[in-house]
Amino acid sequence: MLDNDLILDKTDLHILRLMQDNARISNADIAREIGMAPSGVLERVKKLEQKGVIMQYTAAINPAALKQNMLAFIAIKANEAPGNIETTKYLAAIPEVQEVHHVAGDDCYLVKIRTYDSASLVGIMRNHLSKISSIVSTRTTIVLETVKEQQQLVIPKA
Amino acid sequence: MLDNDLILDKTDLHILRLMQDNARISNADIAREIGMAPSGVLERVKKLEQKGVIMQYTAAINPAALKQNMLAFIAIKANEAPGNIETTKYLAAIPEVQEVHHVAGDDCYLVKIRTYDSASLVGIMRNHLSKISSIVSTRTTIVLETVKEQQQLVIPKA
DNA sequence: ATTGAAAAACATTCAGA
DNA sequence: TCTGAATGTTTTTCAAT
């Protein structure tokens, strides 16, 4: 999936824009919006899913509603052979870790992690990070307030 | 919305888990899964939306499909009066900026930004960031590879 | 790639418990 | 809160283009 045969036309982009903003929009509504038959829309949506353009439909849940009020970024330095991915595999397997990026520069990895509070963050660092022998050092940045947080992409009109 | 009258019971958490994993699941399927009538599920879902627990339904689109292959984090130092939110307002208004966090420590803000390439990143920094007079300095971290990226929360069973 | 028709499944409302 | 019945709508398939 997601090969070179993915030429997204104006209609595909329109569908993506609608579904990115409201994943629970009905095919019928999409069809009305873009002036196509519902069955045609369904075909296109299925193709977008199957090509890996649409990766998932998800409900964005308010972390505060689940009392998950701690958000932190951890910059991690690791001493491992280039191409070795043991560290990232371990980091990605931690459920509270939302993002793991391999970054350029001094710090090898940047990890985004969401927990209930500072105690549970420390708990994860103790129980998980300290068990990863390749980790040389960590630098934790605590988020005081999140002003904007969205995964939505800028989708061009054409 | 999202007051103190949000006591999420086991059923609510089950619904949230299902919808977080697949926002396009039908009410009927949720009803079957949790052993309730579809109309009852609908009521609960509407209440979760109205209380602000469910913030949005969104399709996660593969950035590569839109040729958006540059991801960067920018740490921004700003000299502004505490409580002044002009800088964050400006940052959040940039469409390519997916996240703006006010963080503890030396760097005041952490911004996540997704663009086509390094040229378009530089373009945004020139056209937007350099116009914000309160910004003292920026430190950009380029993502080489994203290993994990999800906004999904850990939802407890009860 | 798209349509339109047809059947099955679904969403939504509302009275009643 | 929840159910169950009722109605209108949607989804999905498929033959045809």
Q: What is the 3-state secondary structure (H, E, C) of chain A?
A: CCCCCCCCCHHHHHHHHHHHHCCCCCHHHHHHHHCCCHHHHHHHHHHHHHCCCEEEEEEEECHHHHCCCEEEEEEEEECCCCCCCHHHHHHHCCCCEEEEEEECCCCCEEEEEEECCHHHHHHHHHHCHHHCCCEEEEEEEEEEEEEEECCCCCCCCC
- What are the structural domain ranges in chain A? 10-50, 63-142
Q: Does the distance separating the beta carbons of A147 and B59 come in below 8 Å?
A: no
* pLDDT value of position A37: 98
**Closest CB to A22 among B57, B147, B151:** B57
Q: Which residues in chain A are contacts of B63 at CB distance < 8 A?
A: 153
- Determine the residue type at A22: N
pLDDT classification of A3: cutoffs 50, 70, 90: low
* pLDDT value of position A2: 64
Structurally, at CATH architecture level, domain B10-50 sits in: Orthogonal Bundle (1.10)
Residues 62-101 on A with a CB inside 8 Å of B are 62-66, 68, 71, 73, 85, 88, 91-92, 95-101
Q: Which residues in chain B are contacts of A85 at CB distance < 8 A?
A: 147
CATH of domain A63-142: 3.30.70.920
Choice between A30 and A4, residue whose per-residue pLDDT is larger: A30
* Cα separation values, B5 from A132, B1, B56, B59, Å: 41, 9, 20, 29
* B120 in reach of chain A (CB within 8 A): no
* pLDDT value of position B2: 62
Q: Which residues in chain A are contacts of B145 at CB distance < 8 A?
A: 101-102
Best mutation target, A19, A85, A101, A128, to test chain B (most B CBs within 10 A):
A101
CB-proximal positions of chain D, under 7 Å: 1-5, 9-15
Question: pLDDT for B50-73, tens place per residue?
Answer: 999 999 999 999 999 999 999 999
The enclosing H or E element of B58 equals strand B54-61
**Closest CB to B60 among A21, A55, A101:** A55
pTM (2 d.p.): 0.96
